[in-house]
Structure 1
Amino acid sequence: MRKLCLLFLLIGTYCYAGERKYTVDSPDGKIQLAIIQTDAGELTYQLSVKRKQVIDASALGFKTEDGLTFPFRGWKMGKVTRNKVNSVWKPLWGKRAVVPDKYNEMKLSFVNEAKSSDALEVVARAYNEGVAFRYVSPQDAGSALELTTFNFAGDYTAWFYNGERHNIGPERLTETDGERLPVMTVKAADDLYLAVHEACLDEGEPLKLKSEKGQCLFSVSVKPHLLHAGYQSAWRVVLCGNRPGDLVDSHLLELLNPEPSGDYDFSWVKPGVALWDWRINGAQWEGFHYTMSYPSWERMVDFAAEQGFAYLVLDANWYGPEFEQGSDPVKGDKARDVRKLIQYGKQKGVGIWLYLNDVGGRNYPLEETLKQYGAWGAAGVKYGFMAGDGEEKNTRTKSITEMCARYKLLVDFHDYPVHPYGQMRTWPNAVTREYCKAQLDGHEIFYPKTFVTSVFVNMIAGPIDMNNGMFDLRQGKTTRSDNNQEVPSTVVSEAARTLITFSGATIIPDIPEYYRKYPALLRFLSAQKMPWLESKTLDGEIGEYIVMMRQAEDGVFLVGAATNEESRTLRVRLSFLGKGDYEAEIVEDGENAHYLSNRETIKVSKKKVTRNEVLNIKLAPGGGACIRIGKEIKQ
């Protein structure tokens, strides 16, 4: 037995009295996931980061409808398989052009000695950015409840997604009482941040977490799974980083999803900035009255073409009142004008997105509708107000995404969508979704602190559609038809947020004239040419501030900074630049700027910089900063 244990030690398996421990380490050796089988057959796991245990013994496995748990007594290890991968993923679009795909994998196969047909596999991976594990059922095993828990080793601080409300948190783990939604972002130490989510949700209900007050233990709270032959659970993921920005910058969730099917060619997928007709409705400028109709649409297309913006999104009611049963999404109301607009957009190089409400999606043949949109030449579909429980929505979301891919349509899901779980790798046409409170819908809850919390919680899940970039920030009610309340932000922060928010369709809500009022900020918006070559969160603290750098497709570097309700001066290091001299155009909040009372004042400066430079950037309360850097910056 002693020789056998020595052999196991060399391959990452340890023998102790009454238990066996199987470990998998990240390629850099800083993260270790350990799976432990007790003598009674129970399975638990532990997670250590930089030799510090951050998740204590936590449950793995399932419970059947008749109350039996498995693996348990009588279940033995059948086989341990190990694998190493050192590759790269080159996404069509993402946070960067090249994503390292490097991990160590361990597969544990368990069998029931009393009934050989009972089997379960646990697959675990360790990356430098975190760990993930999933269950695989080789045979039909009936319905079973997942027992996975996350038993944190300390009373850490956490933040949670909270639907279309301000995020929950900061909250001590022992203060949590009830159900929470991921992403769950955790501060375990000043130099250690974690995030709990899931990846590759092939079937079943989206992840929910549950805890009781006074505990640091969170359990997976989803409906029982039907463990059929070939069943694969979603990956349970714990991202790890030294700073919260490390979690934001990761593509780990996408890496845990498969590559696109060979049946689809996604070369047509193009990310980009999009104008939007919903918030322009009612705006007035020098005698022109914006409405959701052809004259305004044509004006927006012209502006998009002028600035190099990729798209115009047409929102609700273009085919009739969106919630009326008889509104035909192909023949209704302004359908003829829409077809005309799509052709006009093609001449100008601007794609047109079409809104589709779930009522129209269900009352009319959905695939025929999407096929027709594709035949018209539409660029994408914004799908709203999907009905059903979590499992039903997940199934329908996947089906609609695949149909959209078939007809070369991008897709954006709105109104309490299924959370992103890395699906943009398999379906690059799934460019964004409203897994957040779109800021113009939520004046009662969306304040500067909401933004600088959401980007460290919601955005970890994947691309989100927040609709930042309103430039009409005058005091008092606006003339907008749908929501005429003031936006609590500064115009510089609004521009910065468009860059900070990761999305394959950056949808901005204002009319051309307000963008033209601020030429330097408009240049910043127009410079957001995707796909990004690189992205990096340069600095930030959850709920306080964030500084994001993204390098555009043409090589221009863009930096956006945003703060909460507090003013602050940030030191922005330019070490991300290459060698040589660059020009920087810097836009800051003007003197006495404030997100409640003086929103539209800006200060613009230009200077020569190198990669050794450190810029001191001043942000007003609720404000921001925008920096555009290139070898030659043109006006």
Structure 2
Amino acid sequence: MGLSGLGKAAKVNFSRRSVRSVWTPVWGKRASVPDRYNELTLDMKVFKIIARAYNDGVAFRYEFPKEKAINDLTQFNFKGNYTAWYYNGERANIGPEKLADCDGTRLPVMTVKADDSSYLAVHEADLSWGEPLVLRSRKNETLFTIASKPSSSWKVIMYGTRPGDLVDSHLLELLNPEPSKDLDFSWVKPGVAVWDWRIAGAQIDSFKYDMSLPSWKRMVDFAAANNMRYLALDADWYGPEFGKDSDPLKGGKVAQVHEIISYGKTRNVGIWLYLNDVGGRRFPIEQTLKQYGDWGAAGIKYGFMSGSPAEKNVRTRMITELCAKNRLLCDFHDGPVHPYGQMRTFPNAVTREYCQAQLDGATVLEPKTFVTSVFVNMLAGPLDMNNGLADLSQKGRTHAPAYATNTTLVAEAARTLITFSGVTVIPDIPEHYQKHPEILRFISAQKMPWLESRTIKGEIGEYIVMARQASDRTWLIGAATNEFSRELAIPLFFLKKGRYEAVIIQDGEDADYRMPTESYKVSKRLVGKDDTLLVKLAPGGGACIMIKQF
């Protein structure tokens, strides 16, 4: 790695330090995180090189004034022609691709399999200014350079002996600064959210759901009854979302929004508000976000941000900080800047659509795409993927996609747990969840913040088994597979000593992602830390397990 334009270096001073501490996040994959590294700083007068070595990777950054930024000639030179996967916007990831087959630019996260016991991931952390990372390689080479303009970020190489080690890493967050002492984040509460976008048009008996107050109240009542913290209101509530005259403070159904926020407070359910970039720019964003905070909204979902990647990063950071000052959570959609660990500095940055979301785009999410994204996109940070349908046919929906769901009912529920997010947005109506009480119970049991998370096993593009411990100490396990059925042995080594009851939800015999059959079976058994559970996953299917101690 290196930089151009250095000139003759003056005397190099260096210093070393070791850090051994613990980070206690407001919320995250676990309740406490070891923060341990050795650091070397080389001071070359014109700039500094700072390098850190962690147990699960290395990171380095070049420190210089923004106005003196120079070209970055960092190189990632891989020893062999390994296999890689890459982020690809709101589409299926690129990969598996041999390194030497790349001929052009690629977007991180770049996840690399060197061999069966060596996995790497290349990304960046703490991008305070500059252009988000872009990588470049030429065909028949295994050397990657940086195609993006200079930035302040840490360049990061994560390492693990299995792909799950990368998923469980906190390296990106730890490379970001802690929150400002001027900001209080005790109000940040992660949780499950119901959503009004995909409910519109669904009909139950004489009631037809739409995106207005009567439906919102039904959704709030359902959320309150099932341990769900939020209702997310999507586009058009203040007028056509791309309309130049749609006023995000006065337009459309704003009176109904005031009423649902008040009603939600009586049921302990917070209300998220959608804000399109058009309204965010044509009306003063500071005033808009202050008003949303004063109204008592829980957060904003910001859509279709315009600008270059560097400009979008500046605006994303500005909006996130304004939201923090106004006690608003935030979720960025529609081609957002990639996450880079900022949830440590701003815990209100709870999720973003840095993926092919299952129910927010116009293309089908293939099973293999899901079990690739969790080993690529999810390494960067929390994802808003909108999993968790309870009715696979989606008949009568105003915004229903014109394609099959491409999962099983159990896989839908499992994905809500596997996908790490500070707000797990589920898309269906109450009555469809109530038809499947065991699955509803599994989703309702996802009481965050998580005390612990473990990727038990998995292979990129094939399958994953994730275990998370809820705030009430219940252990939840979700498993998902690609287009192939498989049997999995799930060891329970993470349990403490004692006896537990396990409720196991598996695909039914006729379950298959190619058919909208809502088939599953439920069983119970007593287990302990030395036991192993065997589950069978249908093609495109999954398994859900709840484990409680006696």
TM-score calculated relative to the size of structure 2? 0.98
Contact 1:489–1:599 (Cα < 8 Å) also in 2: no
In the alignment, does 2:302 pair up with 1:383? yes
- Aligned AA (2:2): L
2:103 maps to which residue?
177
Task: Flag as ranges the 4+ runs of structure 1 deviating above 6 A.
Answer: none
* Superposition pairs of residues 489-508 of structure 1, within 5 angstroms: 489-508=407-426
Tell me the residue number matched to 1:94.
Answer: 28
C-alpha offsets along residues 210-248 of structure 1, whole Å, 9 cap, x if unaligned?
Answer: 1110100111111245xxxxxxx2000000001001000
Report what 2:257 is aligned to: 338
Shift of 1:446: 1.2
Which of 3, 9, 14 matches 1:80? 14
Distance across 1 between alignment mates of 2:73 and 2:500: 55
How far apart are the structure 1 equivalents of 2:463 and 2:66? 49
Instruction: Check if 1:628 corresponds to 2:546.
Output: yes
Cα-to-partner distance string for 1:519-544 (whole Å, 9 max, x where unaligned): 11100000000000000100000000
Are 1:455 and 2:393 an aligned pair? Answer: no
Show the 5 A alignment for 1:113-152. 119-137=46-64, 142-152=68-78
Please give the alpha-carbon distance, in whole angstroms, between the structure 1 residues aligned to 2:331 and 2:214.
Answer: 25
Change (3 A) 1:140 1:469: closer
What SS does the aligned partner of 2:44 have?
strand
8 A contact 1:282–1:290 mirrored in 2:
yes
Equivalent position amino acid for 1:519 in 2: P
* Amino acid of the structure 1 residue aligned with 2:99: L
> Structure 2 stretches of 5 or more lacking a match?
none
Alpha-carbon displacement from aligned partner over 1:249-289 (angstroms, at most 9, x marks no partner):
11110000000001100000000000000000111111210
CA deviations 1:549-581 (Å, max 9, x no partner) are 000000000000000000000000001111110
Aligned mates of 1:389, 1:536 — CA distance in 2: 36
Match of 2:449 among 512, 521, 531: 531
Kept in 1, the 8 Å contact 2:364–2:405? The answer is no
Counterpart for residue 530 of structure 2:
612
Q: What percent of counterpart residues are identical? A: 63
Q: Which amino acid aligns with 2:15?
A: T
Q: Of 474, 492, 495, which aligns to 1:556?
A: 474
Contact map agreement 1:84 1:103 (CA 8 A) in 2: yes
**Matches of 2:69 and 2:274, distance apart in 1:** 38
Contact (CA 8 Å) 2:328, 2:348: kept in 1 or not? yes
Paired position in structure 2 for 1:20: none
> What residue is the counterpart of 2:397 in the other structure?
480
- Matched to 1:522, the amino acid is L
Q: Which residue of 2 aligns with 1:34?
A: none
Q: What is the match of residue 284 of structure 1? A: 203
Whole-angstrom CA distance in 1 between matches of 2:273 and 2:516: 36
Residues 549, 559 of structure 1: 8 Å contact kept: yes
Q: Which amino acid aligns with 2:483?
A: E
Q: Secondary structure at the match of 2:371?
A: helix
Offset at 1:444?
Answer: 3.6
Q: 1:603 aligns with which of 521, 541, 550?
A: 521
Question: Cα distance, 1:386 vs. partner?
Answer: 0.3
**1:377-422 CA distance string (max 9 Å, x none):** 0000000000000010000000000000010000000000000000
Match of 1:428 among 330, 333, 347: 347
Matched, 1:315 2:241: no
Partner of 2:112 in structure 1?
Answer: 186
Deviation string for 1:65-104 (max 9, x for gaps)?
A: xxxx32x5x3144211000000000001000001000000
Asked if residue 253 in structure 1 is aligned to residue 172 in structure 2, the reply is: yes
Kept after mapping to 2: 8 A contact 1:78/1:109 = yes
Equivalent-residue separation in structure 1 for 2:98 and 2:80 (angstroms): 10
Query: Corresponding residue for 1:17?
Result: none
- 1:441/1:483 contact within 8 Å kept: no
Aligned counterparts, 1:508-587, within 5 A: 508-587=426-505
Q: Superposition RMSD on alpha carbons, in Å?
A: 1.1
The match for 2:92 is 166
Match of 2:276 in 1: 357
Q: Secondary structure at the match of 2:515?
A: coil
Determine if contact 1:540/1:546 at 8 Å carries over to the other structure. Answer: yes
Give the secondary-structure state (helix, strand or coil) at the position aligned to 1:513.
helix
**CA distance in structure 1 between the aligned counterparts of 2:196 and 2:395, rounded to whole angstroms:** 16
1:368 to 278, 287, 293: 287
* Structure 1 residues 89 and 281: alpha-carbon distance in aligned structure 2, compared to 1, 3 A threshold: same
In the alignment, is the contact (CA less than 8 A) between 2:360 and 2:386 conserved in 1? no
Aligned to 1:8: none
User: Matches of 2:66 and 2:491 in 1, distance apart?
Assistant: 56
Q: What is the alpha-carbon distance in structure 2 between the residues aligned to residue 79 and residue 284 of structure 1? A: 71
Aligned with 1:144: secondary structure?
coil
- For the 8 Å contact 1:210–1:221, the answer to whether it is kept is yes
- List runs of 5+ in structure 1 lacking aligned partners: 1-58, 64-68, 112-118, 226-232
Deviation at 1:478, TM superposition (A): 1.7
Structure 2 counterpart SS, 1:399: helix
Q: Deviations over 1:572-631 (max 9, x none)?
A: 000111111000100000012101115310000011000111011000000000000001
Aligned partner of residue 333 in structure 1, secondary structure: coil
Secondary structure at the counterpart of residue 70 of structure 2: strand
**Contact 2:359 2:401 (8 Å CA) reproduced:** no
Structure 1 counterpart of 2:255, which letter? R
Q: Which position in structure 1 is the counterpart of 2:389?
A: 470
Native 8 Å contact 2:223 2:229 kept in 1? yes
Which secondary structure does the structure 2 equivalent of 1:146 belong to? coil
Q: Which amino acid letter does the alignment assign opposite residue 135 of structure 2?
A: L
Q: Which amino acid aligns with 1:518?
A: H
- Relative distance call for 1:342 and 1:165 in structure 2 (3 A) is same
Who is 1:220 aligned against? 146
For residues 209 and 97 of structure 1, do their structure 2 counterparts lie closer, same or farther at Cα, with a shift above 3 Å needed?
Answer: same
DSSP-derived class of the 1:402 partner = helix
Question: Aligned partner of 1:244: which letter?
Answer: P
For 1:566, the aligned partner's letter is: F
CA apart distance, 1:110: 1.6
1:141 Cα offset (Å): 6.3
Partner of 1:414: 333
State how far apart, in whole Å, the 1-side matches of 2:69 and 2:126 are: 20
More displaced 10-residue stretch of structure 1: 485-494 or 347-356: 485-494
**What amino acid sits opposite 1:158 in the alignment?**
A
Aligned to 2:324: 405
**Offset of residue 441 of structure 1:** 3.7
Contact between 1:319 and 1:334, CA under 8 Å: does it hold in 2? yes
Alignment equivalent of 2:39, drawn from 105, 125, 131: 105
* Residues 510 and 517 in structure 2, CA contact (< 8 A), matched pair in contact too: no
Kindly provide the amino acid, as one letter, of the partner of residue 89 in structure 1.
W
Q: Secondary structure at the match of 1:145?
A: coil
The answer on whether the counterparts of 1:443 and 1:488 sit within 8 Å (CA) in structure 2 is no
- TM-aligned CA deviation for residue 140 of structure 1: 7.3
| Pair 1:271 & 2:190 matched | yes
* Greater RCO structure (CA 8 Å; 6+ sep): 2
Tell me, in whole angstroms, the C-alpha distance in 1 between the residues paired with 2:126 and 2:392: 40
Q: Distance in 1 between matches of 2:493 and 2:533?
A: 11
Deviation at 1:144, TM superposition (A): 1.7
Q: Which residue in the other structure is 2:218 paired with? A: 299
CA distance, structure 2, for counterparts of residue 135 and residue 551 of structure 1: 38
